[in-house]
Amino acid sequence: MKPKLITIFMVIILTPLIFLTWFGDRLAKGEYEEIKARFNDLQLDRLENINARIEKLLNETERDFVLLIDDMQATSPEYLRRYAQKYHLIQQMFILESNAKLSFPKINPTATFNEVSFYERTKSIWDSRIHFYYRQDESGLTDQKYGWYTWFWGDGIHLIFWRWKRLSARIIGIEVDKKALLIDVIGQLPPPKKSNISNSRTTLMDAKSRVLHQWGMYQPDIHERPKARLAVKAPLNTWSLKFFAADNILDELDNRISSNIALSIVVITLSLIGLSYYFYKENSRELKEAFQKVSFVNKVSHELKTPLTNITMYAELLEKSVSEKDPKSLGSIKIIVSECQRLGRLIHNVLTVASKQKNGVQLTKSLGNIDLVIDSVMDIFRLPLKTRNITIEMDLERDQPVYFDPDIVRQILGNLINNVEKYASIGESLRIESRLEGDKTMIVVSDKGPGIPKEKIEDVFKLFVRLSDKLTDGVTGTGIGLSISRDLARLHGGDLGLKSDQKGTSFYLELKTPGDRDENTSR
């Protein structure tokens, strides 16, 4: 395989591979971040579920406290002390009069140790003469009959549940045993070693970030930020639930995503290599067949050239020997000569294409008169042009010796004039001009045919392209003449272009033709 072809195949394989690798990496990162976000959201939902359990417990506790206070039959100190022992969450009961003064417990010699301790813990509340949360509207009735009150004292938060008694216009309250409440709350939570996710830990913390309960085997660092955090519902809203997990908790999933993408890239790579190899084999086969076809056409054209040359030569001899008194025979012989010349041009074009594809066409310049070559080409076409009623007008001004390749000039002019004969005979006019422009010769071949559409002008110079292929056009051809002519003109240091409109078409042939002095100087 040629290095250039190897490079092309490598580009074909590596370009999509590099893009797929980049895209796969972006996709993996994006998918990982999305899964990470979903994972954190899922943990937040888990904390919401746990919080809902705690909230349910607090609502049940609140309902129990309301029923307990409403079922009280007396408010004497002895009755309240006995009554408090009925429920494990009661640490101390109290009564607050409508004037915001505490009527029970009273600090006197009969007060118990718990009652004295309660008073010390709550002294700041009573000194502020707080009315808790009950409010009176215009009718004098409260719009809130019970609720919670929290305050900080000592090493943490303390809770009071209060109930307003309408008939006595007093508040009966309960100081909650926070240790007992914590035990009830922990009872709603998973045990310490249980965790649905390995390498993770969930904690319940108080306002000072002290751990009240935790479950899961993962041990977070002191300053590690939680993956998810949620405040507990009131009145425990100074507590919070936090979820911690190792940074590599999703690594296994990330590795699985990366492995799947890598496997996909490998499969695509192998597919690209397989397709490239298949196309290479098919391309090699087609190139081989094309080369064989070109070689075959080349050989056949060479085989046809020799007998055609003989036929043309003997036809021209016969033309000279036939008397002008026998116009019928002379006309037939001229047609034979003309068709032989047309076939010769076709074979010459085919051989040029084959030579160009194989080794390239070589210039063979010699000193000569280019106008004489134009005349010789016109002599070949006079009869077929006359048959089509095409008048010939020539304006030749390059009557001085220059260096050029006469065979190439003959082939280009033959193709251009043949083009006029086939496609522009309706205009019944052909004009050929030649002029000198520095070291270049400009030859213009014009007709008054139907013209070529602007969008089709470049197409006529493409190999094997014809503007019309309809059999009804009555025009035969291979679509190689103008393409060959432009290539030969450029090989000769010039170019071939055209201008066309509805009034006709003009081909502009430019050739580099240095004079004798210029050629010697360049040597």
Token pair 């899964």 is at which residue?
35
68 touches 84 (CB < 8 A)? no
Task: Give the DSSP per-residue string, 390-421.
Answer: -EEEEEE---SEEEE-HHHHHHHHHHHHHHHH
pLDDT of residue 17 exceeding 90, the answer is no
Q: Between 507 and 38, whose confidence is greater?
A: 507
Helical (H) or strand (E) element with 170 = strand 170-176
pLDDT digits (tens, 9 = 90+) for 476-492: 666 778 888 898 899 89
For the chain, the structural domain boundaries read: 72-248, 361-522
pTM: 0.47
* Closest of 401, 404, 403 to residue 413, by C-alpha: 404
pLDDT in tens, 265-298: 777 777 777 777 777 777 777 767 666 665 656 5
AA identity, residue 440 = K
Q: What is the CATH code of the structural domain delimited by 361-522? A: 3.30.565.10
Separation CA 255–CA 260 (nearest Å):
8
Query: 71 with 63: CB under 8 angstroms?
Result: no
Instruction: Point out the least confidently predicted range of 175-179, 219-223, 254-258.
Output: 254-258
Cβ atoms of 351 and 298 closer than 8 Å: yes
pLDDT mean over 148-154? 88
Which residues, including other chains, have CB under 8 Å from residue 513's CB and lie 6 or more apart?
370, 402, 403, 404, 439, 440, 441
**pLDDT interval class at 203 (50, 70, 90):** very high
Run of H or E including 171: strand 170-176
Q: How confident is the model at residue 142 (pLDDT cuts 50, 70, 90)?
A: very low
User: How far is the CA of 194 from the CAs of 51, 217, 218, 247, in angstroms?
Assistant: 17, 8, 11, 20
Tokens at 222, concatenated: 């002191």
Backbone angles phi, psi at 147, to 5 degrees: 175, -175
What confidence tier does 509 reach under pLDDT thresholds 50, 70, 90?
very high
Asked if residue 244 lies in contact with residue 200, where contact means CB atoms within 8 angstroms, the answer is yes
* Strand order across the beta sheet in which 440-447 lies: 391-396, 429-437, 440-447, 504-512, 495-501
